Protein backbone atom coordinates (compact mmCIF):
# COMPACT_ATOMS: atom_id res chain seq x y z
CA UNK A 1 0.00 0.00 0.00
CA UNK A 2 3.02 2.28 -0.16
CA UNK A 3 3.25 2.22 -3.96
CA UNK A 4 2.91 6.00 -4.29
CA UNK A 5 5.41 6.94 -1.57
CA UNK A 6 7.90 7.78 -4.35
CA UNK A 7 5.70 10.70 -5.41
CA UNK A 8 5.90 12.58 -2.09
CA UNK A 9 7.66 15.91 -2.55
CA UNK A 10 7.97 18.55 -5.27
CA UNK A 11 8.49 17.91 -8.97
CA UNK A 12 9.10 19.71 -12.23
CA UNK A 13 6.92 18.10 -14.87
CA UNK A 14 7.51 18.14 -18.63
CA UNK A 15 4.15 17.55 -20.34
CA UNK A 16 3.30 16.47 -23.87
CA UNK A 17 -0.29 16.07 -24.94
CA UNK A 18 -2.06 15.58 -28.22
CA UNK A 19 -4.05 18.50 -29.56
CA UNK A 20 -6.90 15.97 -30.06
CA UNK A 21 -6.96 13.28 -27.36
CA UNK A 22 -8.77 10.80 -29.64
CA UNK A 23 -6.66 11.28 -32.81
CA UNK A 24 -3.33 9.45 -32.83
CA UNK A 25 -2.18 11.58 -35.77
CA UNK A 26 -2.77 14.92 -34.03
CA UNK A 27 0.20 17.09 -33.10
CA UNK A 28 1.93 16.97 -29.72
CA UNK A 29 2.05 20.13 -27.62
CA UNK A 30 4.65 20.58 -24.85
CA UNK A 31 4.30 22.65 -21.67
CA UNK A 32 5.64 22.73 -18.08
CA UNK A 33 4.05 22.03 -14.73
CA UNK A 34 4.96 21.87 -11.05
CA UNK A 35 3.60 19.15 -8.77
CA UNK A 36 3.53 18.88 -4.98
CA UNK A 37 2.52 15.51 -3.49
CA UNK A 38 1.95 14.27 0.04
CA UNK A 39 1.34 10.87 1.57
CA UNK A 40 -1.35 10.05 4.11
CA UNK A 41 -2.87 7.07 6.01
CA UNK A 42 0.61 5.52 6.47
CA UNK A 43 0.96 5.10 2.69
CA UNK A 44 -2.65 4.18 1.97
CA UNK A 45 -3.50 7.58 0.51
CA UNK A 46 -1.68 10.10 -1.65
CA UNK A 47 -2.63 13.60 -2.75
CA UNK A 48 -0.99 15.87 -5.28
CA UNK A 49 -1.69 19.24 -6.80
CA UNK A 50 -0.25 20.06 -10.19
CA UNK A 51 -0.13 23.57 -11.64
CA UNK A 52 0.17 24.21 -15.38
CA UNK A 53 1.22 27.89 -15.48
CA UNK A 54 1.21 28.33 -19.27
CA UNK A 55 -2.17 26.59 -19.55
CA UNK A 56 -3.68 28.62 -16.71
CA UNK A 57 -5.21 25.66 -14.92
CA UNK A 58 -4.46 23.33 -12.05
CA UNK A 59 -5.47 19.83 -11.11
CA UNK A 60 -5.30 17.43 -8.24
CA UNK A 61 -5.29 13.70 -7.80
CA UNK A 62 -6.47 11.76 -4.77
CA UNK A 63 -5.19 8.17 -4.62
CA UNK A 64 -6.71 5.71 -2.15
CA UNK A 65 -5.64 2.14 -1.46
CA UNK A 66 -8.44 -0.38 -0.93
CA UNK A 67 -7.03 -2.80 1.65
CA UNK A 68 -9.63 -5.50 0.90
CA UNK A 69 -9.27 -5.50 -2.90
CA UNK A 70 -5.57 -4.59 -2.68
CA UNK A 71 -5.87 -2.01 -5.43
CA UNK A 72 -5.68 1.72 -5.89
CA UNK A 73 -8.42 4.12 -6.96
CA UNK A 74 -7.18 7.37 -8.54
CA UNK A 75 -9.50 10.38 -8.73
CA UNK A 76 -8.67 13.48 -10.83
CA UNK A 77 -10.19 16.95 -10.62
CA UNK A 78 -9.27 20.29 -12.14
CA UNK A 79 -10.18 23.86 -11.42
CA UNK A 80 -11.74 23.97 -14.90
CA UNK A 81 -14.70 21.85 -13.73
CA UNK A 82 -14.47 21.62 -9.95
CA UNK A 83 -15.68 18.01 -10.08
CA UNK A 84 -14.03 14.62 -9.58
CA UNK A 85 -13.69 12.51 -12.69
CA UNK A 86 -14.62 8.81 -12.41
CA UNK A 87 -11.74 6.84 -10.88
CA UNK A 88 -9.25 4.61 -12.60
CA UNK A 89 -8.33 1.52 -10.57
CA UNK A 90 -5.41 -0.84 -10.62
CA UNK A 91 -2.17 -2.04 -9.09
CA UNK A 92 1.61 -2.00 -9.41
CA UNK A 93 3.44 -5.04 -10.75
CA UNK A 94 7.24 -5.10 -10.98
CA UNK A 95 7.43 -1.32 -10.45
CA UNK A 96 4.85 -0.42 -13.12
CA UNK A 97 1.38 0.80 -12.17
CA UNK A 98 -1.56 0.23 -14.54
CA UNK A 99 -4.95 1.79 -13.88
CA UNK A 100 -8.17 1.58 -15.93
CA UNK A 101 -11.57 3.25 -15.83
CA UNK A 102 -14.58 4.35 -17.86
CA UNK A 103 -15.19 8.00 -18.66
CA UNK A 104 -16.51 10.43 -21.26
CA UNK A 105 -14.38 12.62 -23.51
CA UNK A 106 -15.78 15.11 -26.03
CA UNK A 107 -19.19 13.47 -25.65
CA UNK A 108 -17.85 10.00 -26.41
CA UNK A 109 -17.64 7.02 -24.06
CA UNK A 110 -14.00 6.06 -23.54
CA UNK A 111 -11.88 3.63 -21.57
CA UNK A 112 -9.00 5.42 -19.85
CA UNK A 113 -5.62 3.93 -18.95
CA UNK A 114 -2.94 5.49 -16.76
CA UNK A 115 0.54 3.96 -16.56
CA UNK A 116 3.22 4.90 -14.01
CA UNK A 117 6.71 3.67 -14.99
CA UNK A 118 10.41 4.52 -14.90
CA UNK A 119 10.16 5.23 -11.20
CA UNK A 120 13.38 6.20 -9.43
CA UNK A 121 14.12 8.40 -6.45
CA UNK A 122 14.37 11.45 -8.74
CA UNK A 123 12.20 10.68 -11.76
CA UNK A 124 9.00 9.03 -12.92
CA UNK A 125 6.82 8.81 -16.01
CA UNK A 126 3.03 8.96 -16.24
CA UNK A 127 1.06 8.42 -19.41
CA UNK A 128 -2.60 8.48 -20.28
CA UNK A 129 -4.29 6.68 -23.16
CA UNK A 130 -7.91 6.43 -24.32
CA UNK A 131 -9.68 3.59 -26.12
CA UNK A 132 -13.00 4.00 -27.93
CA UNK A 133 -13.19 0.38 -29.12
CA UNK A 134 -13.24 -1.66 -25.93
CA UNK A 135 -9.45 -1.71 -25.40
CA UNK A 136 -8.65 -3.12 -28.86
CA UNK A 137 -6.61 0.00 -29.64
CA UNK A 138 -5.30 2.85 -27.51
CA UNK A 139 -4.36 6.45 -28.28
CA UNK A 140 -1.66 7.66 -25.93
CA UNK A 141 -2.58 11.30 -25.53
CA UNK A 142 -0.74 12.74 -22.51
CA UNK A 143 2.74 12.04 -21.15
CA UNK A 144 4.30 13.57 -18.05
CA UNK A 145 8.00 13.23 -17.22
CA UNK A 146 8.62 14.01 -13.52
CA UNK A 147 11.96 15.29 -12.24
CA UNK A 148 12.40 15.89 -8.52
CA UNK A 149 12.91 19.56 -7.59
pLDDT digits (tens, 9 = 90+) for 67-95: 999 999 999 999 999 999 999 999 999 99
Quote the pLDDT of residue 140.
98
Across 115-129, average pLDDT: 98
Which tens digit of pLDDT belongs to each residue from 1-49? 899 999 999 999 999 999 999 999 999 999 999 999 999 999 999 999 9
Question: Is the pLDDT score of 125 beyond 90?
Answer: yes
Judge contact between 40 and 15, C-beta under 8 A: no
What is the Cα–Cα distance from 32 to 14, expressed in whole angstroms? Answer: 5
- Residue 88 CB neighbour total at 10 angstroms: 22
In terms of Cα–Cα distance, which of 116, 95, 93, 114 is closest to 103? Answer: 114
Quote the pLDDT of residue 115.
98
Superfamily name and number for 5-148? Calycin beta-barrel core domain (2.40.128.20)
Across 51-79, average pLDDT: 96
b/e string for 48-73 if b means 16 or more Cβ within 10 A? Answer: bebbbeeeeebbbbbbbbeeeeeebb
Quote the pLDDT of residue 1.
83
What is the Cα–Cα distance from 16 to 28, expressed in whole angstroms? Answer: 6
Chain centroid, CA 33 distance in Å = 13
Quote the pLDDT of residue 96.
97
Confidence of residue 50 (pLDDT cuts 50, 70, 90): very high
Beta bridge partner(s), residue 105: 108
What is the Cα–Cα distance from 61 to 76, expressed in whole angstroms? Answer: 5
Amino acid sequence: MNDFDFLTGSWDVANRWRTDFLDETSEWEEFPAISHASGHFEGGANFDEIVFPTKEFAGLTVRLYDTERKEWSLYWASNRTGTLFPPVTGTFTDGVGEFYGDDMHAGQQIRARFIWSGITEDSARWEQAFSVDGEKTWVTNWIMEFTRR
